Amino acid sequence: MISAYFAQCLHRTLPKNNTMNWTTENIPDQSGKTALVTGANSGVGYEIALALYKKGAHVILAARDESKLTEAMDKIAKAGGTGTLEIGVLDLSSLRQVAEFAVKIKDSHTRLDLLVNNAGVMTPPESTTAEGFELQFGVNYLGHFALTGHLYTLLKNTDGARIVTLSSGGHKMVDGIDFDNLRLEKPYDAQREYAVSKLADLLFMAELQRRITLAGDHVISTAAHPGVTESNLARYMDEEQLKAGIEKYGALLPAWQGALPALYAAVAPQVTGNDFYGPDGKYELQGYPAAGEMSAAAKDPATAAKLWKYAEEATGLTFPKL
Tens of pLDDT, residues 245-282: 555 555 678 899 999 999 999 999 999 999 999 999 88
Query: How open is the CA angle 306-197-127, to the nearest 5 degrees?
Result: 115
Q: What is the DSSP string of 161-221?
A: -EEEEE--GGGGG-SS--TTSSSS-S---HHHHHHHHHHHHHHHHHHHHHHHHHHT---EE
The Cα 289–Cα 284 span in angstroms is: 9
Residue with more model confidence, 34 or 18? 34
Contact 23, 262 (CB under 8 A): no
Query: How open is the CA angle 197-202-208, to the nearest 5 degrees?
Result: 120
Instruction: Report the topology of domain 2-315.
Output: Rossmann fold (3.40.50)
Backbone dihedral region for residue 316 (phi beyond 0: left; psi -120 to 50: alpha; all else: beta): left
Task: Give residue 124's Cα distance to chain centre.
Answer: 18
pLDDT > 70 in the chain, percent: 87
Confidence of residue 17 (pLDDT cuts 50, 70, 90): very low
**Active-site amino acid positions:** 167, 194, 198
Tens of pLDDT, residues 181-233: 999 999 999 999 999 999 999 999 999 999 999 999 999 999 999 998 775 65
The Cα 8–Cα 230 span in angstroms is: 20
Contacts of 67 (CB under 8 A, 6+ apart): none
Query: How open is the CA angle 209-284-232, to the nearest 5 degrees?
Result: 85
Confidence of residue 5 (pLDDT cuts 50, 70, 90): very low
For residue 15, the model assigns a pLDDT of 42
Number of other residues whose CB lies within 10 A of the CB of residue 123: 22
For residue 229, the model assigns a pLDDT of 78
For residue 284, the model assigns a pLDDT of 87
- The whole model's pTM is what? 0.91
Backbone dihedral region for residue 211 (phi beyond 0: left; psi -120 to 50: alpha; all else: beta): alpha
The Cα 13–Cα 70 span in angstroms is: 42
Tens of pLDDT, residues 49-88: 999 999 999 999 999 999 999 999 999 999 989 999 999 9
Residue with more model confidence, 242 or 196? 196
Q: Which amino acid is at 71?
A: E
The Cα 37–Cα 47 span in angstroms is: 10
Tens of pLDDT, residues 100-153: 999 999 999 999 999 999 999 999 999 999 999 999 999 999 999 999 999 999
For residue 154, the model assigns a pLDDT of 98
Query: How open is the CA angle 291-263-25, to the nearest 5 degrees?
Result: 105
